[in-house]
Amino acid sequence: MSIKKLAGQTLWYGVPRIFSRFLSFGISLLGFQLFDPNGSYAFTQIYAVVPFLNILFTYGLETSYFRFAQDHDRQKLYNTLNVSIIITTILFTALLFLFEKPLTSFIGMQRHPEFVTWMIWIVFFDTLYTIPMARLRQEERPRKYAFINMFSVLLNVALVLFFFYVAKPAREADPYTFLGQLYRPEIGIGYFIISNVIASAACLLLLYKEFTSFRFEFDMKLWKEVMKYSYPLIIVGFGGMINEMLSRLVYQKVSTATVTQREFELGVFGANYKLAVLITIFIQIFRMAAEPFFFNQSRQEGAQRMYARVMKFFVIACCFMFLFIALFLEAWKVLIAGKHPEYAEGLHIVPVLSMASIFLGIYYNLSVWYKLTNKNMTGAYITIAGAVITILLNIWWIPQFKYTGAAWATFCCYFFMMAISYVLGQKYYPIPYPKKKLITYLVIVTLMYILHEMIARNLDPHSSYYKITYYGAGLLFFALFTLLIMKVERKELARLPFVGKFFARPATR
């Protein structure tokens, strides 16, 4: 697969994914609009745990499918992994229900134990279609993959809007009507979770062809081989989730604030974490196309040079996204603090979390070395070290700096994971990354944000020229970085599909 094909498939995965994630993002922001930080605390907490459980339930089989599809019978592999994941999903779900009360207490959801029940069902349904969806990606069928994702999110959005803008007003008008009975005020933000359960279950219906092609056949030898490769990926998978999960759990244990204040702070932290979502979305859609690409490309001549080019374009794209977020925070503030201004007090952590997300994305790109060299356990050790850093820094900083300390702990953790993965990767699977150039780009966008922030802080926010200066300076810095990339990367841009013709130098006579 060429970079042109990778770019095309990234668009197929990306455009619907971006649209669907923006809808999901909008729905979560609606939750922050409808409920104050104390009310949104449960929502933030539940969706910090769901990704953690998804990784545990799928135990690296998605990546393993791409890896083993290169040199094994694909139907046998598909059958074996499906049997494995169906059996373990039923087992893990039963265990969660058996220990539901301790789990509820552990994540601090005693006031809403029913939310934990619904969360378990979300994980159950999401896990069952993991391998069928991986098959769509491996077979390069991004259209169906995109359609299923879009359908799920649109259904989720429609249900949320129904509960809060149809059923709720109906209850307020007459609680004894059919529609009025569908809304219960005590559930509140829990309807966001209920809508997710229904949408996740509905996705299974759209994959009926993939499920009907599955046969209940199990190859024990193949399964053992897959598991030997896969089990370290359980820990590796936590790389993107350890801060989402651990920061909140540790926060509850080490914060010296009252319960009410602690819930308020976690609500503010969760709302502002959402503003780093643009970079997170890009990382996710990039991985959708890039993971099978990396495995397919590994046997081609010049694979390492190709990986280096992919990394460069990835970092450049992330830099633009960082500037888009960090230079226009005033605009983003309206999204989360329009109705509840108290959310805006945590806005300063957004650039920190955005840069941390870039580090995590770079780490995902770097991880190709241990996946191709079958050194997944090394990736697991990196993740464990990152988790230790997260815990220690949160214990140290949260009592002093609240959620600001949690944000910087995230930053330091992902920076460490990125740096150590690069050093080890160059030892075991050298790739000629343009290190100096990429570091320069990251430093430049960081300095642009700091300079822009200094300009904003020296302005009177109530003056008539504040917004003109604020947004004008932001646009200027964005344009300057664009010109820099166009000049420095002109040759590379000229080789890209579609846009390359705009950067090609005219032939000289």
Residues 187-215: tens digit of each pLDDT: 877 888 898 899 889 888 888 888 888 88
pLDDT at 203: 85
Which residue type occupies 289?
A
pLDDT at 24: 57
Which residue type occupies 445?
V
Alpha-carbon distance 443 to 274, whole Å?
A: 24
Alpha-carbon distance 499 to 154, whole Å?
A: 32
pLDDT at 418: 94
pLDDT at 187: 82
Alpha-carbon distance 492 to 314, whole Å?
A: 13
Residue numbers of the chain with a pLDDT score lower than 50? 1-2, 508-509
Which residue, 364, 200, 342, 237, is CA-closest to 290? 364
- Phi-psi category of 60—alpha, beta or left, where left has phi over 0 and alpha has psi -120 to 50? left
pLDDT at 380: 84
Tokens of 423: 């050093």
The length of the chain is 509
Residue the block writes with tokens 């976690």: 266
pLDDT at 316: 92
pLDDT at 509: 46
pLDDT at 409: 92
At 1-20, the pLDDT tens digits run 445 555 555 555 555 555 55
- 72 backbone dihedrals φ, ψ, rounded to 5°: -130, 160
Q: Is 310 within 8 Å of 365 (Cβ atoms)? A: yes
- Phi-psi category of 496—alpha, beta or left, where left has phi over 0 and alpha has psi -120 to 50? beta
Tokens of 76: 């046998």
Q: Is 387 within 8 Å of 238 (Cβ atoms)? A: yes
pTM of the model: 0.71
Which residue, 209, 235, 234, 215, is CA-closest to 77? 215
Alpha-carbon distance 494 to 461, whole Å?
A: 43
pLDDT at 355: 94
Cα–Cα distances in angstroms (integers) from residue 435 to residues 361, 426, 429, in the given order? 15, 12, 15
Alpha-carbon distance 92 to 97, whole Å?
A: 9
